[in-house]
A = this chain, B = another copy of it.
Amino acid sequence: MENCKTLREVCNLFEISRRVVQGYEKVGLVSASETNKYGHLLYDRETQERISQIWVYKQLGLKIKEICEVIDAPDFVRKKAIESQIVRLKKEQKQLQILIEKVMKW
Residues of A within 8 A of B (CB): 56, 59-60, 79, 82, 86, 89, 93, 95-96, 99-100, 102-103, 106
Contact = CB atoms under 8 A, between A and B. Distances in A.
Nearest to A78: B106
A56 B102 contact: yes
What is the total number of copies of this protein in its complex? 2
Contacts of A95: 59
A93 B103 CA distance: 18
A99 B58 CA distance: 11
A52 to B, nearest CB: 11
A89 B100 contact: yes
Contact of A93 (B60, B82, B93, B99): B93
* Closest CB pairs A-B (n = 10): A59-B99, A82-B103, A86-B100, A56-B99, A56-B103, A60-B99, A93-B93, A89-B96, A60-B103, A59-B96
